[in-house]
Amino acid sequence: MARGDGRLTTELDPDNPGPRDACGVVGIWAPGEEVSKLTYFGLYALQHRGQEAAGIAVSDGARTVVYKDLGLVAQVFDESTLAPLQGHLAIGHARYSTTGAPTWENSQPTIRSTSTGTAIALAHNGNLVNTADLLKEVDRLGLDMGGTTSDTHLITALLAARPDESVAAAAERVLPQLRGAFCLVFMDENTLYAARDPQGVHPLVLGRLASGWAVASETAALDTIGAHFVREVEPGELITIDEHGLRSVRFANPEPKGCLFEYVYLARPDTKLAGRNVYATRVEIGRTLAKEHPVEADLVIGVPESGIPAAIGFAEQSGIPYGQGFTKNQYVGRTFIQPSQSLRQLGIRLKLNPLVDQIKGKRLVVVDDTIVRGNTQRALVRMLREAGAVEVHIRISAPPVEWPCFYGIDFATRAELIAGSLDVDGIRAQIGADSLGYVSMDGLVRATEQPASRLCMACFDGNYPIELPAADLIGKHLMEPQPQSAASHSPTARSSATQSKRSTEASTQVREGTTA
């Protein structure tokens, strides 16, 4: 019988997941430091960005070693797995799959040797939109992909296909060929590299350590490892770090289009994006919601965790008291135990339980970050009414999500997005709320303190700043050998006994055998 894997999940309803975050990447160049542990703690700070797999590559100047596996950072690594990862240079990755199934083979960092013996390890946050073209180029060059099906492996293969050039020179040739969102950290035996797509869709920041440098997806990761924030890696920039210092080149002209959804949901509240604190942004969104969608109520509550700052802002602006409406169980893992019909209404109660004494007899404003399919909000409204709420008014700190993302967020398809087929009142009726209000696009943009011209809002307005190919040349499973159902790619749907055995054997092989 299949058993639960015991892994924690942030999903309130794992059967109806919300938007899956972009991945998290870390790079460290720090001679004399325990770079694998610094990378580990950096990934730990970025765990919210990827919860399917984790990995670290380390070089001591002579060889590069990769250790990776499926699971959370703290499950993949411990003292015994980190101890052999010695060197002066490391990169790390926490994965959510956006191209390629969530298998061990597609976990990162990737590693590949050139014909002259130089090892290149690479970690990628984002998603390419010209994967089909890159796959043709890889086939033309006769490069073996070894059964991998992610766009990240294509990048690594193309970098390693130029043995007559330095890695930096190869990168300057390959990076301009990439289309889509990419924040890359990669390395050879002696040098750390970092690159960001010309649009700068997702964040990548540079920090200074006492004895070196750090690169990470968010400033919160730099804070965690004691690195001083220096600046963002600029859109279209390639950074090289080695014993000679830090060097920078432009491989493309910058055309900034930062992801607006980072401010709403993806980034940690203690992170700064374009100089703006994310927590402050979310509180301001809540204030805007209160102005745009006022309501008479007795209590404002937030849906943990990302709805709480906006709920605080709503309460401050409206004068309605803020309170805790739910207790959240932080320790619930995914389960393979199927509830009987009589137990199906347990739903998100495994994660959240209402505080009845706070709720009973009150008119509630419930602030959440987004509505994707509507299943979670419908369950929350029902739960609150059962707890005695007399009115439930839902306020959402983002505009309706009507379009899928192709730049690194694993949204549902448009057919699955509730806002793709229903207007606001239709959605309100579907979830059973007394009223429903979304923050306006203008209000959300103002809260970021960024010009609208520098933001990607495609999931809200359908205007994709990076041109997309034909529908049959894009998608999560584009490189899969044959079509498979979504359930077969879900970590919750696999045979845990088979998968566990394979991933353990595979990671042992990487730790002990796949070195360069």
394 and 291 fall within a common domain: yes
pLDDT for the residue numbered 443: 98
Question: Shortest CA distance to 479 belongs to which of 70, 97, 52?
Answer: 97
Q: Is residue 16 included in any domain, yes or no?
A: no
206 and 305 fall within a common domain: no
Judge whether 459 is annotated as a binding position: yes
180 and 306 fall within a common domain: no
Among 432, 450, 468, the domain boundary falls at 450
pLDDT for the residue numbered 505: 30
241 and 349 fall within a common domain: no
293 and 248 fall within a common domain: no
Read off the tokens for 233: 């890696």
Q: Is residue 138 included in any domain, yes or no?
A: yes
Given 9, 12, 17, 23, the catalytic residue: 23
Judge whether 342 is annotated as a binding position: no
Q: Which three-class secondary structure state does DSSP give residue 352?
A: strand
Contact assessment for residue 171 and residue 121, using Cβ atoms and an 8 Å cutoff: no
**Number of structural domains the chain divides into:** 2
Q: Is residue 44 included in any domain, yes or no?
A: yes
The DSSP H or E segment spanning 316 is helix 308-318
User: Dmax of the chain from CA atoms?
Assistant: 74
Q: Is residue 262 included in any domain, yes or no?
A: no
Judge whether 151 is annotated as a binding position: no
pLDDT for the residue numbered 302: 97
51 and 120 fall within a common domain: yes
Contact assessment for residue 167 and residue 116, using Cβ atoms and an 8 Å cutoff: no
Catalytic (active site) residue 183:
no
29 and 118 fall within a common domain: yes
134 and 45 fall within a common domain: yes
Question: Shortest CA distance to 273 belongs to which of 263, 282, 264?
Answer: 263
Q: Is residue 404 included in any domain, yes or no?
A: yes
pLDDT for the residue numbered 24: 95
For residue 24, give Cα distances in angstroms to 1, 53, 184, 266, 282: 34, 11, 10, 11, 21
Q: Is residue 238 included in any domain, yes or no?
A: yes
For residue 296, give Cα distances in angstroms to 7, 199, 293: 41, 42, 10
Among 427, 450, 473, the domain boundary falls at 450
40 and 156 fall within a common domain: yes
- Expressed in angstroms, the distance from the first to the final Cα of the chain is 40
The size of the chain, in residues, is: 516
Q: Is residue 465 included in any domain, yes or no?
A: no
The span from the CA of 471 to the CA of 150, in Å, is: 18
**Residues whose CB falls within 8 Å of the CB of residue 79, separated by 6 or more in sequence, listed in order:** none
Pairing mode, strands 258-259 and 299-302? unpaired
160 and 291 fall within a common domain: no
Counting Cα atoms < 13 Å in the Cβ hemisphere of 122 gives 26
202 and 297 fall within a common domain: no
207 and 309 fall within a common domain: no
Q: Tell me the CATH number at 344.
A: 3.40.50.2020
For residue 326, the enclosing domain spans 278-450
Q: Is residue 17 included in any domain, yes or no?
A: no
Judge whether 183 is annotated as a binding position: no
The span from the CA of 383 to the CA of 328, in Å, is: 14
pLDDT for the residue numbered 254: 97
Q: What are the two backbone dihedrals, phi and then psi, of residue 206, each rounded to the nearest 5 degrees?
A: -110, 135
**Residues whose CB falls within 8 Å of the CB of residue 306, separated by 6 or more in sequence, listed in order:** 264, 265, 269, 282, 369
Task: Spell out the per-residue pLDDT of the chain, length 516, in tens.
Answer: 333 343 444 444 445 545 545 689 999 999 999 999 999 999 999 999 988 899 999 999 999 999 999 888 999 999 999 999 999 999 999 977 555 455 657 788 999 999 888 999 999 999 999 999 999 999 999 988 777 768 899 999 999 998 889 999 999 999 999 999 999 999 999 999 999 999 999 999 999 999 999 999 999 999 999 999 999 999 999 999 999 999 999 999 999 999 999 999 999 999 999 999 999 999 999 999 999 999 999 999 999 988 999 999 999 999 999 999 998 876 655 444 555 555 555 667 778 889 999 999 999 999 999 998 898 899 999 999 999 999 999 999 999 999 999 998 876 678 889 999 999 999 999 999 999 999 999 999 999 999 999 999 999 999 999 999 887 677 655 555 554 443 333 322 222 222 332 233 333 334 333 434
Q: Tell me the CATH number at 157.
A: 3.60.20.10
Judge whether 456 is annotated as a binding position: yes
- pTM here? 0.86
